[in-house]
Structure 1
Amino acid sequence: MQDQIGIPNCFSSTGDNSPENLAAITKSGQSVFTSIYRTKIISHCRFITVTWCKNLLLHGLSISIERPGGGAPYTCKLEVKSWKFWRKQGSKRLLIDDDKAVDVFWDLRAARFNGDAEPNSEYYVAIVCDEEVILHLGNLKTEAYRKTNCRPSLIDPILVCRKEHVFGKKRFSSKGKFHEKGKVHEIWIECRGGNNGELKTEPEMEIKIDGKCVIDVKHLEWKFRGNESITIGSRKVEVYWDVHDWLFSPGLRHALFIFRPVVTSPMVVSPPPSSSIMAGDLETVEGVVGEGGSLSGGSWEFCLFLYAWRVE
């Protein structure tokens, strides 16, 4: 795996993603959650990227709006340091395209984080354009509409991708939904064997969903990249993995896992992921979701990218 997935810039004002800086940040403990939505803003279909990140020094929220035709996205950042006061309620304005206003409203005064970077209840974040709430996050929907004094958008945003960075020695855990209205599932990944003092055993990998083993890979040193189709409830999910750097690259390295529900609609064709998609680049997200992510309706297609950083 040739890509170097650095820690998001909301962790560092310098954007230093050197191995030394990454190692220092990782040892301090951190979590990163990124969700990518697709919606229509000012007559353009765009991606909105929402990233929550936290370590011992910083706790931040970053919102980026895709720029038509490429280029650096429009970005709004909220940062908190443990020794500074944080405005847990407020708003910020972005000017996009030809000085068109996009407002971001938030209320995190009673937000419940449960130790994670991303809150799970008692909060809202609302993005407003043309007097419409184009994206709402959190469970305080009534409060968000009252504060913004705006109506809901006629087009519902679509969650097309979620990326998480998790850290551990041999075990990694996450949560994810594989259907728009489905339940949240517990995901566990465990890597066994390898060097253990003077003993060296053959590395193996196991992936569990809700405590049930769904993938068990033997001879991992020969099967460090692969994919399998699993069934969760009545829905099929394709699982792809690339653990090459766990096994063969020294220092702080990550493995990449992709969980991708299979779209059953006859109108939707789900192409297999290319090497660039395995790298998790934002530029390939549109290719991943295909027509299933269209704003005109149809099947819901989603990918969970899980970056598992192995810390020795």
Structure 2
Amino acid sequence: MVGLGLSIKKCEEKPSFRHLRMIKGNRSFELDNIKFEVFWDLSTAKYNSGPEPSDNFYVAIFADSELSLVLGDLEMNLKSAYPVAEFSLISRSEHFYGNAIYSTKAQFCERGNVHDILIKCSGDYEGNKRNSVLSVCFDKKEVIRVKRLHWNFRGNQTIFIDGLLVDMMWDVHDWFFTSSGCAVFMFRTRSGLDSRLWLEEKTLEHKGHDRVEFSLLISASKNPI
């Protein structure tokens, strides 16, 4: 993974994306008249099978000196030393390179389970002709399988996870047909009452409640960016 991508939502502000490319440090910036400060330490982080750190790390985000988000197990008693804002993690992005097997973890709602996700592009044989196949597994169970990926290089399917409809979109055109060799996979939840694919939705105003969604963006390239 090249960088850790985070998006946070505070009140009604639009999410902002920042990439933290050093293993330890801090950064401050201003967005919509709100001062954000980010502190992180991945220098002693431990990893399992995927690119996401599992132990010995922390990422802390302050908005106007109010603690808005803490990730990791090295929290340095931040939650007791600073006022804590209400927050929701609404999106995450990861980048891979160098192979066609990508594994990560994701939790699609606050009360849901943390799922192991495996995306694999491989080949099978039908009539002595090699065909690329895209398979997506949740917790070692295949939930999506796309054959003839060279022809079906863009598409979407909907799966059911933790009582939620989750739309998956893939675009592997550039991986097969351009020199950039990039592929994109996205997962995003939607309301069970809404039958439309989230890509088709227009911006709607919801009065009296917040519509909380989560999205996971995975990008992949053949070579390091």
Per the TM superposition, whether the score is higher than 0.5 is yes
Q: Is the 8 A contact 2:158 2:166 kept in 1?
A: yes
Which of 100, 103, 118 is matched with 1:188 structurally? 118
Name 2:132's counterpart in structure 1: 203
Structure label with greater radius of gyration: 1
3-state SS in 2 of match to 1:187: strand
Distance of aligned partners of 1:228 and 1:66 in 2 relative to their CA distance in 1, 3 Å threshold: farther
Compute the displacement of 1:101 (Å). Answer: 5.9
Say yes or no: does 1:143 pair with 2:114.
Answer: no
Which of 157, 161, 168 is matched with 2:98 structurally? 168
3-state SS in 2 of match to 1:192: strand
Say yes or no: does 1:49 pair with 2:9.
Answer: no
CA distance in 2, matches of 1:137, 1:192: 34
Give the aligned CA root-mean-square deviation in angstroms. 3.7
Compute the displacement of 1:127 (Å). Answer: 3.4
Compute the displacement of 1:171 (Å). Answer: 1.7
Paired AA for residue 93 in structure 2: K
CA distance in 1, matches of 2:181, 2:190: 29
Residues 119-130 of structure 1 aligned to structure 2 (within 5 Å): 119-130=53-64
CA distance in 2, matches of 1:187, 1:254: 19
Percent identical: 30
Distance of aligned partners of 1:215 and 1:221 in 2 relative to their CA distance in 1, 3 Å threshold: same
Which TM-score applies when normalising by structure 2?
0.76
Which TM-score applies when normalising by structure 1?
0.57
Q: What count of residue pairs does the alignment treat as equivalent?
A: 220
Q: Is the 8 A contact 1:289 1:302 kept in 2?
A: no
Compute the displacement of 1:61 (Å). Answer: 5.8
Distance of aligned partners of 1:158 and 1:233 in 2 relative to their CA distance in 1, 3 Å threshold: closer
3-state SS in 2 of match to 1:301: coil
Q: Is the 8 A contact 1:263 1:270 kept in 2?
A: no
- Whose helix fraction is larger, Structure 1's or Structure 2's? 1
Paired AA for residue 10 in structure 2: T
Q: Is the 8 A contact 1:34 1:162 kept in 2?
A: yes
3-state SS in 1 of match to 2:118: strand
Name 1:152's counterpart in structure 2: 84
Name 1:240's counterpart in structure 2: 169
CA distance in 2, matches of 1:200, 1:60: 49
Compute the displacement of 1:110 (Å). Answer: 8.4
Name 1:33's counterpart in structure 2: 4
- Whose strand fraction is larger, Structure 1's or Structure 2's? 2
3-state SS in 2 of match to 1:31: coil
CA distance in 2, matches of 1:180, 1:105: 24
Return the structure number with greater relative CO, CA threshold 8 A, min gap 6.
Answer: 2
Distance of aligned partners of 1:288 and 1:39 in 2 relative to their CA distance in 1, 3 Å threshold: farther
Distance of aligned partners of 1:263 and 1:242 in 2 relative to their CA distance in 1, 3 Å threshold: same
Q: Is the 8 A contact 2:29 2:36 kept in 1?
A: no
Q: Is the 8 A contact 2:123 2:131 kept in 1?
A: yes
